[in-house]
Structure 1
Amino acid sequence: MPSVEILGGNVEYEILGDSGDLIVLTPGGRFSKDFRGVRPLAEGLVAGGYRVLLWDRPNCGVSDVQFFGPTESHMRAAVLGELLRTLDTGPVILAGGSGGARDSIVTTVEHPDLVRKLVLWNIVGGVQGQFVLGSYYVVPTLLAVRSSGMEAVAALPEWQTLIEANPKNRERILNQDRAEFNRLMLRWLEAYVPKPGQTIPGVPDDRFADIRVPTLIIRGGKDDYDHPKRTSLEVHCLIDGSEVIDPPWPEDAWERATEARARGEDVGGFDTWVQAAPPILDFLARS
């Protein structure tokens, strides 16, 4: 796969399709572009006449780990902005789910000249959703660096996975200044603390006024505590002229998938995403 150095780290990407407007598809968590459920949605969008850019964000897949910015999403937005400029894509359509929705929102706010339409689903918010993210993605790393330093950080399962995918990542982690890295982790953690005037982590509500492109929001399911229905409706209220639709998957799809994985079943949280292709294509055709 092609890769390019962006802001001091290599980013791997690929473009599916031969013609049509370009959609940047961004998954959630620290999952790679090859995580199950992502490519089927991309292929569905390609079948609808679009090209799709898949990319391993910093701290995902085989791309280099990177550590800067007010939040991890702001770091990824900075990298995506430079990636699109480097590839000379012109304005693109951003489509993202879960953490990818947040990354796409921040990119649209920070780089409005690069975005022509925006599609969001599984938007994280609420007390449980934000606390779970902070405790899962930041707290173990924060405790490791504070107690034992960067060697302990590199030994954590989360970072070991990225080191196995890209051995250079071990040195990139070990080369971080311990005090500055600790400070960064505290900053990233603070973004996940629910607070008034901040519907999604790290993004003040007033910044949504800077989103002036056609926007589709697939609302969260009524039983989804990580991506609450309420959060997607609040984001809809904050983005002037946005459109919100019911999810094309069951209202409790996320919770049922979580329960199935706990039972040891082979179920992925993004498996249902391919069902979003028809409503996304419909929105793009008429917006």
Structure 2
Amino acid sequence: MEHPHLPGPRRRQRRGGAGVTTLETAGPQLKRGEKTFDVNGGTVVYEILGKTGEFIALTPGGRFSKDIEGLRPLAQALVKGGYRVLLWDRPNCGKSDVQFYGQSESHMRAETLHALITGLGIGPCILAGGSGGARDSMLTTMLYPEMVRKLVVWNIVGGIYGTFVLGSYYIVPSILAVRGTGMQGVIHVDEWKQRIAENPANRERFLATDPDDFLKLMLRWLNAFVSKPGQTIPGVDDEMFDRIRVPTLIIRGGENDMDHPKRTSLEVNCLIKGSTLIDPPWPEDAWERASEARASGKVKRFNMFDTWVQAAPAILDFLGR
């Protein structure tokens, strides 16, 4: 399926009179083990953990990078279990280029992950993801079923509150900015300032984007987060779940988790025929308690994914069947 890509250069580097790349146009500073892969006119930063075994593409939530606290301990536990793990900065996350196209942001990520796995020659493989990464992994499996061997998801977002929060947090600030002061305003949105800090070339990509096209795209992405009948997860029609025919493990949401409702996990379990649903290996109120710890200032870092490593034994058991 073709998508209307918004204009944006591919990490072009502008050189001054002395032939030196300016800081404003330089790409990201890669650390040991990180590599890049070009997808749809943008660069994706990734790394592979482990030397042998089947591949697991592991995806976090939100617009968090592959280096978000809590993700790597889970990846390392899976490596110890005999697997290789692909960690990747999705478009608009971490050090990767910003990109804006597709029916929703998750559709863009699914297309990117398919291209990355295919280009690296590591498919078919296992997909695993939590929160937004669960949605990305499920949608990738729906759109590219031949690429997936097994699927593992947890902290699935759903419900009126869960989806409304995503739209208001990730989309609305960009809409307000571009309507107010164009793309110059967009680059001053806190989240996009972080993307530019990690990859200075993103500033030029933003400024090269037509503001009217950007607004149209943001409104389309916002629509995906409007709760609709027949869409258990945002932006994806329930009938699409029929395409998931691989062994699937679902770790349900906590009893009172409003962001990742227990109800949503149960509905997804019904929609994916033959899927396995298990109780969370962490406390029922782990998400709420972690959120309170951050809000109260008791914890000064991101702690919301700290419990994810506790899922490793259940994941390894499922994958070993």
**Structure 1 counterpart of 2:81, which letter?**
G
Q: SS of the residue aligned with 2:216?
A: helix
Question: 1:223 Cα deviation (Å)?
Answer: 1.2
Q: Which stretch of structure 1 is more off in the superposition, 170-179 or 259-268?
A: 259-268
Q: Which residue of 2 aligns with 1:281?
A: 316
Question: Alignment partner of 1:149: what SS?
Answer: helix
Establish whether residue 14 from structure 1 lines up as the match of residue 47 from structure 2.
Answer: yes
Q: Which structure 1 residue ranges, 4+ long, deviate > 2 Å from structure 2?
A: none
The count of corresponding residues between Structure 1 and Structure 2 is 286
Q: Which amino acid aligns with 2:320?
A: A
Matching of residue 69 in structure 1 with residue 87 in structure 2: no
Q: TM-score, normalised by structure 1?
A: 0.99
For the pair 1:232 / 2:280, whether they are aligned, the reply is no
Deviations along 1:195-242, one digit per CA (max 9) or x if unpaired, are 100000110000000001000000000110000000011000000000
Offset of residue 265 of structure 1: 2.2
Cα offsets for 1:235-274 (capped at 9, x unmatched): 0000000000000001011011111000112251000000
Q: In the alignment, which of 66, 70, 74 is matched to residue 37 of structure 1? A: 70
SS in 1 for 2:197: helix
CA deviation vs aligned residue, 1:19-41 (integer Å, no higher than 9, x gap): 01000000000100000000000
Match of 2:230 in 1: 197
Partner residue of 1:80? 113
Aligned pairs for 1:85-104 within 5 A: 85-104=118-137
Query: Does residue 159 in structure 1 map to residue 159 in structure 2?
Result: no
Q: For 1:129 and 1:176, how far apart are their aligned partners in 2?
A: 30
Q: What is the CA RMSD across the aligned residues, in angstroms?
A: 0.6
| Alpha-carbon separation, structure 2, partners of 1:109 and 1:50 | 23
The offset of 1:90, in angstroms, is 2.0
The amino acid that maps onto 1:118 is L
Q: Identify the residue that residue 258 of structure 1 maps to in structure 2.
A: 291
Q: Among residues 156, 165, 168, which one is paired with 1:123 in the alignment? A: 156
Instruction: Say whether 1:178 aligns with 2:205.
Output: no
Choose which of 41, 52, 57 in structure 1 pairs with 2:85. 52
Q: Which one of the candidate residues 98, 101, 106 is aligned to 2:139?
A: 106
Percent identity, aligned pairs only?
A: 67
Which of 209, 213, 234 matches 2:246?
213
Distance (Å, rounded) in 1 between the aligned partners of 2:298 and 2:248: 35
> Offset of 1:147 from its aligned partner?
1.6
Do structure 1's residue 269 and structure 2's residue 304 form an aligned pair? yes
Aligned-pair distance for 1:146? 1.2
Mapped partners of 2:228, 2:109: distance in 1: 23
Give the Å deviation of 1:175. 1.0
Query: Hey, which of these two has a bigger chunk of helix by percent?
Result: 1
Deviations 1:159-192 (A, max 9, x none): 0001000000111111111111100000000010
Counterparts of 1:90 and 1:168, CA distance in 2 = 30
What is the SS of the residue equivalent to 1:32? Answer: coil
Unaligned runs of at least 5 residues, structure 1: none
Q: Which residue of 1 aligns with 2:17?
A: none
Give the gaps of 5 or more residues in structure 2: 1-33
One-letter code of the match for 1:274?
A: V
Deviation at 1:113, TM superposition (A): 1.1
